[in-house]
Structure 1
Amino acid sequence: MKRAIPVLALSVAGLVPVWVYSPGAAHEGELSEVAAPPAQTQQQTQQQQTQQKTAPQTTGSAPKPTGAAPKTTTQQQQTTQQQAQNRTVSGRAVNTSEGTVQVQVTFQGTKIIDVKALRAPNSNPTRMALPLLRQSALKAQSADIDTVSGATATSDGYKQSLQAAIDGAQ
């Protein structure tokens, strides 16, 4: 009996912070990934920035040949058309038992060139499953992908959101 009172008091004192704890904004239980432009667009942007930085200044003398043909207007138009053909569609947010899942799909014509998870549960199985789900979607070019073991709820939500984005693009 002498030990029971201190054990009980210390147990309660240890549990009070657990009961009172509320997660902050950084720990809301969801991953949030900012949608970046596709890799092709980033490369083109970097090339354009490099070309702007290294463009020779006009000094009144004839330009020196560099060995590379300058971009013609037709090539520039094709690049602009390709960028215009890339469109991004967000799927609907799907509530699962683990949390909300939402994806964003980038299309070039009818081809899926990128898939980003905008919202996903913040758990280890989900963090491990997202790259696998993305890779499967890019390979299958559809929402008909395999479920990742250990992240079944996330996989189902991912597939539903992906299908909604594909349907929205048509």
Structure 2
Amino acid sequence: MRRFGAILALAVAGLLPLVRYQSSHDAAARASSAVPAGTGAAPAPGKTAPPNPAGGDKTVDGSLVQTEFGPYQVRVVFTGTKITDVQLITEPSDRHSRRIASSAAPTLRQEALRAQNANLDTVSGATTTSNAYAQSLQAAIDSQGG
């Protein structure tokens, strides 16, 4: 009876990764069908929204960067040529990657606002998130002409 319990536990442990497996194709399909967070429909990646008449701000979405863990995309607010806000609007759908992105995003935002460019220091433990964030940010800056 003892052997049966050990065999059952090993079988469950061996099958658990298969049950949790999520292919990058599945993640990309879910990300493309999801509406990014924010206000209503977002402009296409690299496209700019009309300036905010009250503050003269311009909102630009960076490119959607696909990684082995899923997609990342940032939305950048410019006042003139100055970056005044950066938000992570698309991130992978699995809990682990979302937790990493959620903890790294404030640091990356602060770094982007300080540097005013996409040459950001990598957040320890969030290398993929940091690199994708910087790549999407650079695409937004390039489309802004900055």
- Normalization by structure 2: what TM-score? 0.65
Q: Which of 93, 96, 99 is residue 124 of structure 1 equivalent to?
A: 99
1:33-44 superposed matches below 5 A: 34-35=37-38
Preserved CA contact (<8 Å) 1:91 1:164: yes
CA distance in 2, matches of 1:104, 1:90: 4
Query: Residue 11 and residue 151 in structure 1: after superposition, are their counterparts in 2 closer, same or farther (change >3 A)?
Result: closer
Counterpart mapping for 1:52-131 below 5 A: 81-83=53-55, 85-121=56-92, 122-131=97-106
Task: Rate the CA distance shift 1:20–1:161 in 2: closer, same or farther, 3 A.
Answer: closer
Number of equivalences: 120
Aligned-residue RMSD, C-alpha: 3.1
| Alignment match, 2:7 | 8
Alignment of 1:18-29 (within 5 A): 18=16, 19-20=18-19
SS of residue matched to 1:117: strand
- Relative to structure 1, the CA distance from residue 148 to residue 7 in structure 2 (aligned partners, 3 Å threshold; closer, same or farther) is closer
Question: Secondary structure at 2:133's aligned position in 1?
Answer: helix
Q: What is the TM-score normalised by the length of structure 1?
A: 0.57
For the pair shown, which has the larger CA radius of gyration, 1 or 2?
1
Q: 1: distance between equivalents of 2:84 and 2:64? A: 21
Structure 2 CA distance, aligned partners of 1:136 and 1:17? 41
**Residue in 1 that maps onto 2:43:** none
- Determine what percentage of the aligned residue pairs are the same residue: 39
- Residues in 2 aligned to 1:9 and 1:125: alpha-carbon distance in whole angstroms: 33
Question: Unpaired segments of 5 or more residues in structure 2?
Answer: 40-51
Contact 1:89/1:105 (8 A) holds in 2: yes
Q: Distance in 2 between matches of 1:6 and 1:82?
A: 68
Q: CA deviation at 1:149?
A: 1.3
> Which digits, 9 at most, give the CA deviation of each residue in 1:6-37, with x for residues without a partner?
5324644x4597344678xxxx698x86225x
Query: Following TM superposition, by how much is the alpha carbon of 1:161 offset from its aligned partner in structure 2, in angstroms?
Result: 0.4
Q: Does 1:163 align with 2:134?
A: no
Residues 1:154 and 2:129 are matched in the alignment: yes
Unaligned runs of 5+ in 1: 37-79
d(CA) in 2 for partners of 1:126 and 1:81?
32
SS at structure 1 position matched to 2:91: strand
Amino acid at match of 1:103: V
